[in-house]
Amino acid sequence: MTALEVAQAYQTHINAGDAEALLALFAEDAELLHPAGEFHGPVEIRGFYETNVLPFHIRMDAMSWVHDDDRCVFEVEARAQAGGPALYAIDHMTVEGGRIVRLAVYYRR
């Protein structure tokens, strides 16, 4: 899969709350850089999503995409299904062999 296809699958799996499919997108040595911390490998990355994202039933909508074969940068609007304010982020994803090796998330106001 290209970086764009992986990024689209990432959004789909977050919106579906599908932890297994989401985590299958990450390489074994992946790193996730997020304002909440740095997470490395499947155990830490799973813990991040199961604690900070999936319990809130997030609806994530990408508003713009910039991509090539192995990188995708996308602007995201995310909102918990229970309501509340929207969060806006820029996600920068690097993909190798069809799996995420690095994902950096930056929030904007």
CB-based contact 16:25 (threshold 8 Å): no
Domains of the chain: 3-108 (3.10.450.50)
pLDDT higher than threshold 80 for residue 82:
no
pLDDT digits (tens, 9 = 90+) for 24-63: 999 999 999 999 999 999 999 999 999 999 999 999 999 9
pTM: 0.94
Name the burial class of residue 85, with classes exposed (0-12), middle (13-18) and buried (19+) by CB atoms within 10 angstroms of its CB: exposed
Q: What is the pLDDT of residue 18?
A: 97
